[in-house]
Chains A and B, each alone.
Chain A
């Protein structure tokens, strides 16, 4: 078992009202899990992801990573952001080297590692380019390369494709799955939050469905589709329909 989400609840205070965002969430993450968390907007799925990576504390319950309570800066857990979150004053390589420095990787070592993951996501040729010159697809590739460069065991992604145009996100999803299929590459497990059900069925081998506020686990499905998956396949659509029916 890689990670365990145990009895996690979260309430927000706003204007004196308490709003319950998450209600007693339980599940565990195993090796080779590609989990997509889906649910209607406002069900607290992004909050849940932030709790899993340690950016927020749950009101009650806990998140264990390899048996230990999660800490925010755990290098074995890395995060990919919806709006890329790249530093505009650092070029592609520097953006990646920045996250290697806390791991005591500097100079040539850091350069080699950054280079390795730049190549892995197909960014070679863009090493010295600043984020503002990159298209959305390229920016998110940097986001992937940065997260992979710390060689995490668990990769967490918050709506990584929703800021991209449709065709680019199609391309990036396929490339991400290629990286996932490559067993020599980190991570061992992925948790991805998305509002797009087809995307979830296309990517995941496990889908966790949350209910509207307060978010509760409604279903935890294993997607038995073969890879590579085809969106035009009737079997694919049966799965999409099934997830839809559980959400509404």
Chain B
């Protein structure tokens, strides 16, 4: 499995840009609009697809109904939609279940890294870990305590 190295902010930024072009846009043209290489926006496109905000066909990015709902909402409501979507992502679902099974809903960072390594085979697992935590913090699902070096389930706000 691959996991896109894009932050939630980047993904929403991409959706906003596609929305400006009327909800569908060619990926290469979009990249050019931002003075970026296609390579640089690919992770964000993958992220949008993974979260069910976009469908990519023949290099065209098309917004889904969920994406439109997201863009029409305010900052607070956006958080809820993101939460729902991130919770549905396979690797995050598994990680949450694992945390739910554990006694105190915590996991050491090294174990979490191992967990990620088993699913995303990469020599740069640390940056995948950071992205996953970026998503789950955004969604209010899983937090990370850098002093204790452990991740934990976040209480529902």
Contact = CB atoms under 8 A, between A and B. Distances in A.
Touch test A–B (CB under 8 Å): yes
B16 A125 contact: no
Nearest to B137: A125
Contacts of B14: 167, 170
B9 A138 contact: yes
Interface string B127-157: 0001000100111100111100000001001
Interface residues of B, number: 35
Contacts, number: 81
A137 B154 contact: no
Given A178-B74, A178-B75, A168 B137 contact: no
Interface stretch (A12-20, A46-54, A116-124): A116-124
A122 B13 contact: no
Interface residues on A, range: 20 to 34
A230 B21 CA distance: 8
Interface in A223-243: 230-232
Contacts of A166: 13, 34-36
Contact of A174 (B16, B139, B145): B16
A167 B145 contact: no
A99 interface: no
A182 to B, nearest CB: 8
B79 interface: yes
A230 B75 CA distance: 19
Contact of A125 (B9, B78, B143, B146): B143
Nearest to B76: A119
